[in-house]
Amino acid sequence: MDMLSPHIESLIFSADRPISRDEILDCLEVTFETQVDTGEIDQVLADLRERYTEGPYAFELVEIAGGYQFMTKPAYHATAHTYLRQSARKRLSAAALETLSIIAYRQPVPKSEMEAIRGVSCDYSIQKLLEKELIIISGRSETVGKPLLYSTSEKFMDYFGLKSMADLPKLKDFKGPEEEIGEAPSADEIQMEMSLDRRAVAEVLDDRDDAGNQSGDNGVSDRNEEE
78 occurs within a structural domain: no
Per-residue pLDDT, 174: 47
- Give me the pLDDT at residue 179, please: 42
Residues of the chain scoring pLDDT < 50 = 173-183, 185-198, 200-201, 210-220, 227
What is the DSSP secondary structure assignment for residue 19, as one 8-state letter? B
Alpha-carbon gap, residue 99 to 93, rounded angstroms: 10
Question: Do 129 and 162 reside in the same domain of the chain?
Answer: yes
Q: 119 in a domain, yes or no?
A: yes
Range of the domain at 131: 83-226
Together in a domain, 46 and 116: no
* Domain edge (last residue) among 45, 72, 99: 72
Quick one: residue 65, left, alpha or beta (phi over 0 = left, psi -120 to 50 = alpha)? left
- Write down which residue in 72, 95, 120 finishes a domain: 72
Q: Is 145 left (phi over 0), alpha (psi -120 to 50) or beta?
A: left
Number of domains in the chain: 2
Residues 19 and 111 in one domain: no
- Domain-ending residue, one of 52, 72, 92: 72
Cα–Cα distance, 40 to 37 (Å, whole number): 5
**Residue 50, pLDDT score:** 96
- The answer to whether residue 51 sits within a structural domain is yes
62 and 24 together in one domain: yes
CATH number at residue 170: 1.10.10.10
Task: Give the C-alpha separation, 113 to 153, whole Å.
Answer: 19
150 domain-assigned: yes
Pair 57, 187: CB distance under 8 Å = no
pTM, full prediction: 0.46
146 lies in the same domain as 51: no
Residues 41 and 97 in one domain: no
Judge whether 115 and 122 are in contact, CB under 8 Å.
yes
Whether 206 maps to a domain, the answer reads yes
The rounded mean pLDDT for the chain is: 79
